[in-house]
């Protein structure tokens, strides 16, 4: 079921993300601070040292067990009368695994929030809001958790807490990804990445990479998702982050399941179960069991799937965790249906449906309606089966529309992401220059000389930066020769840019794809409406394409109605998605000033560069694919 329990268990662990990343689900009873036997007072400095370990960079790689041990130390070290430190302690203690009752946890979080407000401690306010968000998610669902995270980010504005801001952004990104807002999730992940760099963390944060991989998986960009998963796994193994490794394997299992490889999915889930079992990670073990059952159903092993589901249900019940009841029912129904027990399967679906409707996940509801329709048809209830299938079809259409919308948004957001990265680099360079200036101020007693030296240094830096920009601009102007009619690049510009892109992608071990485009029946437009009208059609079509392409893509006109797009760092599958968006944009064009009935179509061929290819050979394959598209009836994309 696309990782229902695994996603929820990950989010419950991320529920304490802004406190200390690995904090697990709230599945154990809570022992209030006043129930702990009083300990002798300890120096406040020791409390501060442990607190910094709980909230500082070291927390990003800490285990759940280590985090809980540090919370125990904080509790023991808390001075008897010290309101400021008590506020800080409560702001992290509300994320402890000892909490079981959601209502009590929410009340405790509200108390921690009010106490932090009373003394003006904004960082503690943000952490308490994170706790509150977690309990709201457990009580009311993922969407209801987002407002508190937005409030937490607002509270931190101007507070110089980049690590905490980054952790909250990762939490918000995970929630947005879970509810289907993948483009906004990826933008939040990139903002979190920048915040971590600003806090001095000089390495990739593995849980951030895994969140990005999961978002790409949910968008259907499996190649990008696999790349992020594989980047994270060796580091997780090296630092013995077994919780993170289990999550990595679970998400990889769902990726294989969605890609139609249930045998690979089963292997990944079995590995995740072994890792989680060996290290007492019950939440991820249970999530992996659900994934394994789904893979077994896909492999036509219903008896094994039912045994796996029975084990998962027993373990969820022991943990008093009912958050996956909908998935247990749906998968149980599918296993029964595989055995021909369709009446029993429908009973499971009836129980699962209200739970899924409350959760609001369209994908799960679509899968439920699909399974229901199949069982109703098997029982001869054709009228009911048709109604269920229509509901499934409508949900699938909504999902596809949402996916296309998210993919389009992602293309728009990529520009902001690149601009943000450039701005972060500039700010870091400025801070480095300022630090150097301060060092010089301490070393040089002659302030006038210092001012001159600093001015010259800054002028040199700015001059070097301006010279590099000028040289880059001159090089771009040389390449960006444009077609005067359409504004697209010329054939000469295409040849140079494509050669450079192919060399760069080969050097960086990336993929390069070309799109060959031909406007369908363009000669007939010229013949019927005249060449000036044809020119307007060409220019309008190019403008529509340019609006959809990424900044790094190059659109060139290489013939009358023939165009080509250079897509650096793009595999064929992603290029195919870009081509489909260009196709849709073309068909949506209207030319009322020429003829309200005039419609324009385009045929597109896609080719990805292979080892040993030249620009000419890749373009030849794209042209061949374009020819197949025209032979197949025009107005389509072929690879």
CA dist., res. 15 & res. 24, Å (int): 8
Mean pLDDT, residues 103-120: 94
CA dist., res. 335 & res. 309, Å (int): 9
Exposure string of 283-295, with b = 16+ CB inside 10 Å and e = fewer, is bbbbbbbbbbbbb
SS3 of 450-506: the string is HHHHHHHHHHHHHHHHHHHHHHHHHHHHHHCCECCCCCCECHHHHHHHHHHHHHHHH
Predicted local confidence at residue 30, as pLDDT: 40
Mean pLDDT, residues 405-409: 63
Predicted local confidence at residue 444, as pLDDT: 58
pLDDT class of 121 with cuts at 50, 70, 90: very high
Residues 6+ apart with CB under 8 A from 459: none
Residues 6+ apart with CB under 8 A from 131: 15, 16, 19, 91, 94, 95, 105, 108, 109, 112
pLDDT class of 31 with cuts at 50, 70, 90: very low
Edge to edge, the sheet with strand 562-567 lists 554-557, 562-567, 513-519, 602-608, 637-638
Predicted local confidence at residue 600, as pLDDT: 95
Predicted local confidence at residue 234, as pLDDT: 85
Taking a C-beta distance cutoff of 8 angstroms, is the pair 518, 583 a contact?
Answer: no
Which of 20-24, 99-103, 494-498 is modeled with the greatest confidence? 494-498
pLDDT class of 106 with cuts at 50, 70, 90: very high
> pLDDT digits over 264-311, tens only?
999 999 999 999 999 888 888 999 999 999 999 999 999 999 999 999
The pLDDT mean for the chain works out to 83
Predicted local confidence at residue 424, as pLDDT: 54
Predicted local confidence at residue 102, as pLDDT: 87
Chain centroid, CA 31 distance in Å: 36
CA dist., res. 368 & res. 358, Å (int): 14
Q: Which two tokens stand for residue 82?
A: 């010290």
* Full DSSP string of 410-455: HHHHHHHHHHHHHHHHHHHHHHHHHHHHHHHHHH---HHHHHHHHH
Residues 6+ apart with CB under 8 A from 620: none
Predicted local confidence at residue 519, as pLDDT: 96
Mean pLDDT, residues 414-432: 58
pLDDT class of 408 with cuts at 50, 70, 90: low
Predicted local confidence at residue 25, as pLDDT: 32
Predicted local confidence at residue 5, as pLDDT: 35
H helices present in 78-101, as ranges? 83-93
> pLDDT digits over 508-562, tens only?
888 999 999 999 999 999 999 999 999 999 999 999 999 999 888 999 999 889 9
Mean pLDDT, residues 161-169: 94
SS3 of 264-296: the string is HHHHHHHHHHHHHHHCCCHHHHHHHHHHHHHHH
Closest by CA to 7, choosing from 218, 229, 165, is 218
Predicted local confidence at residue 283, as pLDDT: 85
> pLDDT digits over 591-615, tens only?
999 999 999 999 999 999 998 899 9
Q: Looking at per-residue confidence, does 124 or 321 come out higher?
A: 124
> pLDDT digits over 371-390, tens only?
999 999 999 999 998 999 89
pLDDT class of 27 with cuts at 50, 70, 90: very low
Lowest-confidence region among 68-72, 297-301, 442-446: 442-446
Predicted local confidence at residue 536, as pLDDT: 93
Predicted local confidence at residue 26, as pLDDT: 33
**What is the CATH code for 482-638?**
3.30.70.270
Lowest-confidence region among 223-232, 294-303, 491-500, 560-569: 223-232
CA dist., res. 92 & res. 112, Å (int): 9
Predicted local confidence at residue 19, as pLDDT: 32
pLDDT class of 423 with cuts at 50, 70, 90: low
pLDDT class of 638 with cuts at 50, 70, 90: very high
Predicted local confidence at residue 358, as pLDDT: 81
Q: Looking at per-residue confidence, does 80 or 534 come out higher?
A: 534
Predicted local confidence at residue 213, as pLDDT: 85
Lowest-confidence region among 153-167, 207-221, 323-337, 343-357: 207-221
Domain boundary assignment for the chain: 402-476, 482-638
Predicted local confidence at residue 397, as pLDDT: 83
Q: 25's torsion region: left (phi>0), alpha (psi -120 to 50) or beta?
A: beta
Closest by CA to 609, choosing from 507, 523, 465, 460, is 507
pTM for this predicted structure? 0.55
pLDDT class of 7 with cuts at 50, 70, 90: very low
> pLDDT digits over 445-493, tens only?
665 665 566 667 776 676 666 566 556 445 545 444 788 889 899 888 8
Mean pLDDT, residues 57-83: 84
């Amino acid at each position: 079921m696309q990782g229902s329990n695994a996603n929820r268990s990950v989010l419950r662990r991320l529920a304490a993300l802004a406190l200390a990343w690995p904090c697990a689900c709230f599945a154990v009873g809570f022992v209030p601070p006043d129930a702990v036997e009083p300990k002798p007072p300890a120096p406040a400095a020791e409390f501060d040292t442990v607190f910094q370990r709980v909230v500082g960079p070291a927390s990003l790689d800490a285990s759940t067990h280590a985090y809980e041990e540090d919370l125990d130390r904080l509790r023991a070290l808390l001075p008897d009368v010290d309101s400021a430190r008590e506020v800080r302690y409560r702001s992290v203690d509300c994320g402890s695994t000892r909490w079981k009752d959601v209502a009590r946890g929410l009340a405790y979080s509200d108390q921690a929030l009010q106490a932090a407000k009373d003394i003006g401690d904004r960082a503690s306010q943000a952490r308490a809001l994170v706790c509150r968000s977690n309990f709201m998610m457990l009580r009311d669902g993922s969407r209801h958790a987002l407002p508190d995270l937005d409030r937490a980010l607002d509270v931190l504005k101007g507070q110089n807490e980049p690590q905490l801001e980054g952790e909250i952004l990762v939490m918000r990104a995970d929630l947005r990804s879970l509810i289907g807002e993948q483009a906004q999730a990826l933008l939040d992940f990139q903002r979190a990445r920048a915040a971590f760099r600003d806090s001095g963390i000089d390495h990739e944060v593995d849980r951030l990479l895994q969140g990005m991989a999961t978002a790409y998986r949910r968008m259907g960009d499996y190649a990008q998702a696999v790349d992020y998963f594989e980047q994270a796994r060796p580091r997780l193994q090296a630092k013995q982050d077994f919780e993170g490794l289990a999550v990595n394997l679970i998400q990889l299992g769902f990726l294989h399941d969605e890609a139609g490889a249930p045998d690979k999915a089963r292997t990944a889930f079995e590995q995740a179960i072994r890792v989680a079992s060996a290290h007492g990670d019950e939440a991820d073990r249970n999530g992996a069991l659900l994934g394994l059952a789904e893979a077994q159903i896909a492999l036509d092993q219903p008896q094994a799937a039912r045994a796996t589901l029975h084990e998962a249900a027993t373990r969820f019940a022991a943990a008093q965790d009912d958050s996956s009841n909908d998935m247990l029912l749906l998968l149980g129904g599918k296993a029964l249906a595989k055995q021909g027990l369709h009446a029993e399967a429908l009973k499971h679906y009836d129980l699962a449906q209200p739970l899924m409707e409350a959760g609001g996940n369209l994908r799960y509801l679509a899968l439920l309606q699909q399974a229901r329709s199949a069982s109703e048809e098997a029982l001869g209830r054709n009228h009911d089966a048709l109604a269920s299938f229509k509901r499934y079809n409508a949900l699938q259409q909504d999902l596809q529309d949402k996916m296309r919308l998210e993919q389009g948004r992602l293309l728009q957001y990529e520009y902001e992401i690149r601009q943000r990265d450039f701005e972060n680099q500039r700010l870091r360079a400025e801070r480095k220059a300022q630090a150097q200036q301060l060092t010089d101020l301490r070393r040089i007693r002659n302030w006038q000389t210092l001012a001159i030296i600093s001015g010259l240094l800054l002028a040199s830096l700015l001059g070097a930066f301006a010279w590099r920009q000028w040289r880059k601009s001159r090089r771009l102007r040389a390449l960006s020769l444009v077609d005067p009619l359409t504004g697209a690049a010329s054939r000469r510009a295409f040849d140079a840019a494509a050669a450079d892109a192919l060399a760069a992608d080969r050097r960086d071990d990336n993929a390069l794809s070309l799109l060959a485009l031909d406007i369908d029946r363009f000669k007939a437009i010229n013949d019927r409406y005249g060449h000036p009208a044809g020119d307007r059609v060409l220019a309008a079509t190019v403008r529509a394409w340019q609006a959809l392409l990424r900044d790094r893509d190059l659109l060139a006109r290489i013939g009358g109605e023939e165009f080509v797009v250079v897509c650096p760092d793009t595999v064929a599958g992603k290029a195919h998605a870009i081509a489909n968006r260009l196709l849709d944009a073309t068909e949506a064009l209207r030319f009322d000033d020429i003829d309200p009935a005039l419609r324009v179509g385009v045929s597109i061929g896609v080719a990805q560069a292979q080892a040993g290819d030249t620009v000419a050979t890749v373009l030849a394959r794209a042209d061949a694919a374009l020819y197949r598209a025209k032979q197949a009836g025009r107005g389509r994309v072929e690879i």
